[in-house]
Amino acid sequence: MAELRCEQIFASYGHGDVLSGIDLVVPEGTLTAILGASGSGKTTLLRVIMGFIAQQHGTVMVGETLVARAGGAHFPPEKRSIGYVAQEGALYPHLSVAENVSFGLPRRERKTSARASEVLNLVGLGSRYAARRPHELSGGEQRRVALARALAPRPPLVVLDEPFSGLDAALRVETRAAVLHALHAQGTTAVLVTHDQAEALSIGHEVGLLMEGRLIQTAAPTVLYRTPASLDVARFVGEAVVLPGRADAGVVSCPLGELPLINRDIQGLVQTMVRPEQIQIRRPFAGESTHLARRAGVTARVGTLTFYGPDSVVQLELDGLPAPINARVLGYDVPEPGEHVELTVGGEVMAYLTAAKGSLTGHRVGLPQTHRLPR
Amino acid sequence: MKRARGARLPQGLLLVSAAIAVLVGLPVVITVVQAFQGGALAAKAAITASATPTLFLHTVELAALVTPACGALGLGTAWVVERTSVPGRRVWPLLLVAPLVVPLFVTSYAWATLSSSLTGFWGAAGIVTFSYYPIVFLLVAASLRVIDPALEETARSLGLGPWRTFGRVVLPQLRPALLGGMLLVLLDTLVEFDAFVALKFQTLSVNVYSQYQLGFSPAGAAALSLFSTLTCVVVLFGEYRLRRGVNYTRISHGARRGVVRYRLGRAMPLALAALGLLVTVSLGIPLGLLVHWFAQGTRTAGAPAGADGVWPATLTTVLLGAASAVVAVLLALPVAILAVRRSGWLATAIERSVYLSFALPDLVAAIALAYGATHVVHFLYGTVVLLVLAEAMLFVPFAVVALRGTIGLIEPSLEDSGRALGLGPLRTLCRVTVPLARPGLAAAGVLVFAFVLGDLSTAQVLLPPGLNTLGTQFWADSGTVAFAAAAPYAAVLIVLALLATYVLMSRFGRVRGLSER
């Protein structure tokens, strides 16, 4: 139950910065997911917060306490009161579940297992688990015990390192629900690190996107997904269809037609970013000739098709486009490969100024004011 | 995750391992037969001799002091080298392990030469402690390298400082390695003889040796050594009780990253001084003796006398060491695989029974083998084959320990994949397990090689006439106080031992393709 505030964190292992100027605020009682590819520096950030490594520059504050300032105070991990859930749980193999959970409690409380069974219940494991050994637990149960152990001393802040990695889909959903419930019940502030986009978007009150040691964008999941700060961000948080276009007066004209813009101020040659699920397909009525359909608006020929059950990804070949684009359509009405279909786009789209290749800054123009920008 | 173990392994492995266990236990059986062949009365006379209780007490006191001392030294040095920012982390392991492979009789002479006050109990305890603590160091350091750093980090996040983290998390994880190392030290101390050759300190094995030298009945010597057999069995059983439920299953692999080392800060000079002192005592004293002898030799005569015997003795020693190492590794491999991959009382019993190699003083075991050979397989008697087999059997427990560490790191799923790809158990062993375990095989072989270099008793009994090893030559020359003549043999021995240490340290407890740090 404390705010986490990181300011201007720089960290390196001697060869170039792994973290370059991280500013992160996690409001009291909320969960922020840090999303990043492997090597983006997310584990380093987490280890700086925990105090396992010292940053070269910047400060870390938990609530009102300054726990680390580069060149100044550096609280060792045990003095920070930050709960830690390691990858795969890291349960102590020489201790039972109850002993694991009560590990961080004062000796007096360790004897009476009241708190241990309380937190075990909190994570959805009954006290019948108390006497078991870690190797007798499933992967999901191990993660829950690890969280219970971290929560037992009632830390104001908990840090979770890829807590659901290696679990299968169903177990992932179940474990995630149990973890969220427990964190919410304790009112604990939490930072979770993951490389899984869907996980970050579905679990965090806010999601911070970390790329090459920089927090590129920190925002609510819907904001991050709908209005990514750059094309790179757009592509990282989900699938993106990117088309050339020209923006003017809040509208972009591109191969998918005239589309309304979210960032209305943008002008000139742009890259248009459309999410595949925004592209809607209309199949021609029986008897309606292809010729007619073609006249009606934007048409495309259906290429390959990948069926997932609830939905499908349809590859569409458009005249004048060098490569096919993907659309995500609902699974109950999928077109046939080779069929000609009519396309419309739902909702508004984002556009980014066309700039020199590889330059991140070029895409950033015309952002809505809600974004926190990196330095 | 818990694995169902047992059914997948072929019965062949069990049979081969059981046969090896029987082979290693053979000298014990022969000795028992020998002891009672001279009649129960002769055995009784040897056992009830007035000196026996004192000798037994000496042996036990020595072991009681040496074992915890080696445990503490091995644990402390391993932790400092593996977990702190002490400078010279690549050099210290070499310097710390080298004393183990320096022949004990050389160390013994060195201590005796240093001061006559070191020829009693304290000298004996010192020699054994400073020569055997590397066993604990090796095992604990290898174990420290594979502990998931997240276990410690979690403890820190739960409010434990470095010391309490060590006590409540690291130490329990190290328990199998620590106990295993201390067991080897304890068993070896109980039957140690070579270390005391230059001392006036009497233990059971020293007494057995003098009985043999004086031409006393072999039955008497055999009867006396039944004490050590009994002690060995009791210790093995006790250790088994102690480590029950201690073989922790590694449940998570965590992130494979290097550990964060503790900064020593102001304790740095202290740590360096402690390590330096330890190395000076354990390695400096035997090396110093060597320099002293050489200096003496050049002062009295131009070149050390008898130096022409060095080359043939070196060749014999190296070939003997290499052959024994290969045989010991071949014997150890099935037992180590069985110990790692299979649980249950039978596998445990087989693994433990190779420790029966420590049940007899080396000399008695060698005599038993010679006795057995003359009575049953006469063509083997007086051949190098018997000597190689004897040396291999003597040091097979060390090979098992070295291999067990490496094989334990190999994911069983790699072997399962081999089976799934159509390989039989034996071909899986040859194409998957052995190639992966190659560093461990090399480490085990080199360890045995180094021990054979330093062996005296077995070679003295079983060496075919006309052959000399560096050890027996050194012994012969130093026995006639021809120290300058003995020096070249000791020098070659120590150089070989240090080379072996280098190979050992680059391979112990590692798996191919699994890099650390």
User: Which residues, other chains included, contact A371 with Cβ-Cβ below 8 Å and sequence gap of 6+?
Assistant: A217, A219, A223, A227, A229
| Residue numbers in A near B260 (CB within 8 A) | 52-53
CATH of the domain at B234: 1.10.3720.10
A contacts of B248 (beta carbons < 8 Å): 93-94
- Tokens (6 digits) for B120: 């009693």
Q: Name the 3-class secondary structure at B56.
A: helix
Question: For residues B250 and A134, what is the distance between their CA atoms, to the nearest angstrom?
Answer: 10
In sequence order, the β-bridge partners of residue A7 are A59
Same domain, A148 and A66: yes
**Taking the mean position of all CA atoms in its chain, how far away is CA B156?**
36
**Contact with chain B for residue A229, Cβ under 8 A:** no
For residue A90, what are the domain limits?
A: 4-225
pLDDT at res. B517 = 33
pLDDT in tens, chain B (517 residues): 334 444 445 678 889 999 999 999 899 888 888 877 766 776 677 777 767 788 888 888 999 999 999 999 999 999 999 888 889 888 899 899 989 888 888 888 888 888 877 778 888 999 999 999 999 998 898 888 888 888 888 999 999 988 899 999 999 889 888 988 998 899 889 888 878 877 878 787 777 777 776 665 667 777 778 888 888 888 888 877 776 655 554 544 544 556 667 888 888 999 999 999 999 999 999 888 888 877 776 665 544 455 677 888 899 999 999 999 999 999 999 999 998 887 778 888 888 888 888 888 888 888 888 888 888 888 888 888 999 999 999 999 999 988 888 888 887 777 777 777 777 778 888 888 888 888 889 889 988 998 898 888 888 888 888 888 888 888 777 765 666 777 888 888 888 888 888 888 877 777 776 544 3
CA–CA distance, A110 with B20 (Å, rounded to integer): 48
> How high is the pLDDT of residue B255?
44
Give the C-alpha separation, A150 to A82, whole Å. 8
**Mutating which of A81, A85, A87, A141 best tests the B interface, going by the most B Cβ atoms within 10 A?**
A87
Confidence (pLDDT) at B5:
43
DSSP, collapsed to helix, strand or coil, labels residue A375 as: coil
Q: Are B154 and A135 inside 8 Å of each other by CB?
A: no
Residue A230 falls within a domain, yes or no? no
Longest Cα–Cα distance of chain A, Å, equals 82
Are residues A64 and A177 located together in one domain of the fold?
Answer: yes
Residues within 8 A of B (CB atoms), A 104-123 only: 104
* Residue B148 at interface with chain A, using a CB cutoff of 8 Å: yes
Distance CA B190, CA B238 (A): 15
Using CA atoms, how far apart are residues A245 and A225, in angstroms rounded to an integer? 21
Among A75, A100, A135, most B C-beta atoms within 10 A, so best to mutate, is A135
Looking at the complex, report in whole angstroms how far the Cα of residue A133 sits from the nearest Cα belonging to chain B. 10
To the nearest 10 degrees (0 to 180), the angle between helices B470-479 and B104-114 is 30
Closest residue of chain B to A94, computed from CA coordinates = B248
Q: Are residues A18 and A158 in the same domain?
A: yes
For residue A373, tell me if it sits in a domain.
no
Measure in Å the smallest separation between the Cα of B187 and chain A Cα atoms.
27
CATH number of the domain encompassing residue A269: 2.40.50.140
Q: How far apart are CA B416 and CA B422, in angstroms?
A: 10
A139 vs B contacts (CB less than 8 Å) = 1
Distance CA B483, CA A145 (A): 66
* Nearest C-alpha neighbor of B225 from the set B33, B357, B47, B40: B47
Q: Considering only CA atoms, which of A166, A150, A149, A138 is closest in space to residue A97?
A: A149
Instruction: Give me B478's structure tokens.
Output: 């130093």
Query: Residue B265 domain-assigned?
Result: no
Instruction: Report angle CA A8, A11, A16 to the nearest 5 degrees.
Output: 120
- Tell me if B475 is assigned to some domain: yes
A150 touches chain B (CB under 8 A): yes
Distance from chain centroid for Cα A269? 30
Of B173, B251, B255, the CB nearest to A91: B251
Is it the case that residue A42 has pLDDT exceeding 70? yes
User: Using CA atoms, how far apart are residues B264 and B270, in angstroms rounded to an integer?
Assistant: 9
**Pair (A34, A83) in one structural domain:** yes
Question: Residue A55: what residue type?
Answer: Q
pLDDT of residue A359: 42
Q: Establish if B251 touches chain A: CB-CB under 8 angstroms.
A: yes
Q: Are residues A173 and A97 in the same domain?
A: yes
Q: Provide the 8-state DSSP code for A74.
A: B
A311-317 contacts, C-beta under 8 A, 24 or more apart: A311/A277, A313/A276, A314/A281, A316/A279, A316/A281, A316/A341, A316/A343
Residue A346 lies in a domain: yes
Report CB contact under 8 Å: B169, A92.
yes
Residues of chain B in contact with residue A51, where contact means CB-CB under 8 angstroms, are: 156
Of the segments A31-45, A295-309, A348-362, B308-322, which one has the largest average pLDDT value? A31-45
Residue of B251, B260, B263 to mutate for A, most A C-beta atoms under 10 A: B251
- What would the pLDDT profile of A64-114 be if each residue is shown by its tens digit? 999 899 888 888 888 888 999 988 888 888 888 998 999 888 888 888 768
Q: Are B105 and B474 in contact (CB under 8 A)?
A: yes
Question: Is residue B252 in a domain?
Answer: no
Contacts of B255 in chain A (CB under 8 A): 43, 87
Q: What is the pLDDT of residue B36?
A: 77
CB A42, CB A36: distance < 8 Å:
yes
Residue A218, pLDDT above cutoff 90: yes
Nearest to B444 by CA among B330, B342, B314: B330
Neighbours of B330 (CB within 10 A): 15
On whether residue A362 sits in a domain, the answer given is no
Q: Give the helix, strand, coil percentages of chain B, each rounded to 5.
A: 75, 0, 20
Choose among B411, B397, B442: nearest CA to B239: B397
Binary contact (B169, A87; C-beta < 8 A): no
Residue A57 sits in the same domain as residue A164: yes
User: What is d(CA A221, CA A225) in angstroms, rounded to the nearest whole number?
Assistant: 6
Band (A46; pLDDT cuts 50, 70, 90) = very high
User: Does residue B326 lie within any of the structural domains?
Assistant: yes
Chain A positions in Cβ-Cβ contact with residue B161 (cut-off 8 Å): 76, 78
Measured between beta carbons, the chain A residues lying within 8 angstroms of B254 are 86-88, 90
Mean pLDDT of A288-297: 54
- For CA atoms A346, A348, A353, A357, the dihedral sign is negative
Contacts of B252 in chain A (CB under 8 A): 86-91, 142
Which of A174, A191, A225 is a domain's end point?
A: A225
Across A265-287, b (16+ Cβ under 10 Å) vs e yields ebeeebbbbbbbbbbebebbeee
C-alpha distances (whole Å) from A320 to each of A317, B20, B107, B159 are 9, 77, 87, 63
Q: How far apart are CA B43 and CA B38, in angstroms?
A: 7
Q: Tell me, what CATH number does A72's domain have?
A: 3.40.50.300
Cβ contact B97:B134 at 8 Å: yes
Count of structural domains within chain B = 1
Q: Is residue A18 part of a domain?
A: yes
For helices B52-83 and B218-243, give the axis angle rounded to 10 degrees: 40
On average, the pLDDT of chain A sits at 86
Query: Are residues A15 and A146 located together in one domain of the fold?
Result: yes
Q: What strands lie across the sheet with A214-219, from one edge to the other?
A: A82-85, A157-161, A189-194, A31-36, A206-211, A214-219
Distance CA B319, CA B321 (A): 5
> How far is B172 from chain A, CA to nearest CA, in Å?
7
Instruction: Give yes or no: residues A220 and A248 share one domain.
Output: no
Q: Are residues A123 and A51 in the same domain?
A: yes
B250 lies within 8 A of chain A by CB: yes
Which residues on chain B are in Cβ contact (under 8 Å) with A79? 159
Q: Taken in order A45, A50, A54, A56, is the CA torsion positive or negative?
A: positive
Cα-based angle B244, B246, B250 (whole degrees, multiple of 5): 140
- Answer yes or no: do A256 and A182 share one domain: no
Kindly identify which residue of chain A lies nearest to residue B171, measuring between CA atoms.
A94
pLDDT of residue A272: 95
User: Mutate which of B152, B246, B252, B259 to test chain A, going by most A C-beta atoms within 10 A?
Assistant: B252
Residue A146: CB atoms within 10 Å: 29
Instruction: Select the residue of A52, A90, A153 nearest B148 (Cβ to Cβ).
Output: A90
Interchain contact A88–B (C-beta under 8 A): yes
**What CA–CA distance (Å, rounded) separates B138 from B146?**
13
**B343–chain A Cβ distance below 8 A for any pair:** no
CB contact under 8 A, B158 and A82: no
Q: Check: CB of residue B474 under 8 Å from CB of residue B379.
A: no
How many residues can be counted in chain B?
517
Angle subtended by helix axes B218-243 and B362-375, to nearest 10: 120
Which residue from A81, A142, A153 is facing B251, i.e. has the nearest CB? A142
- Asked if A63 and A204 sit in the same domain, the reply is yes
Q: In the structure, what pLDDT confidence band is assigned to residue A221 with cuts at 50, 70 and 90?
A: very high
Task: Write out the residue range of the structural domain in which residue B240 sits.
Answer: 11-245+270-507
Cβ contacts below 8 Å, chain A against chain B, sum to 95
Burial class (CB in 10 A: 0-12, 13-18, 19+), B237: exposed
Domain count, chain A: 2
Q: Measure the CA–CA gap between A299 and A316, rounded to whole angstroms.
A: 9
Interval A105-114: pLDDT, tens: 888 888 876 8
Of A86, A104, A146, the CB nearest to B159: A104
Instruction: Report in angstroms the alpha-carbon separations of B303 from A237, A307, B299, B477, B488.
Output: 80, 89, 9, 15, 10
For residue B172, which residues of chain A lie inside 8 Å, CB to CB? 92, 94
| Interface contact flag, B158 A103, Cβ < 8 Å | yes
B404 Cβ neighbours under 8 A, 6+ residues apart: B336, B339, B340
Chain A interface test: which of B1, B2, B5, B154 (most A C-beta within 10 Å)? B154
Residue B186 falls within a domain, yes or no? yes
- DSSP-based helix, strand, coil % in chain A, nearest 5: 25, 35, 40
A47 and A150: one domain?
yes
Domain-embedded: residue A171? yes
Residues of B in contact with A88 (CB under 8 A): 150, 251-254
- In the numeric block, the tokens 């500013």 are attached to A23
Whether B143 maps to a domain, the answer reads yes
Name the DSSP letter for residue A233. Answer: H
List Cα–Cα distances, A124 to A163, A226, B197, in angstroms.
Answer: 16, 34, 66
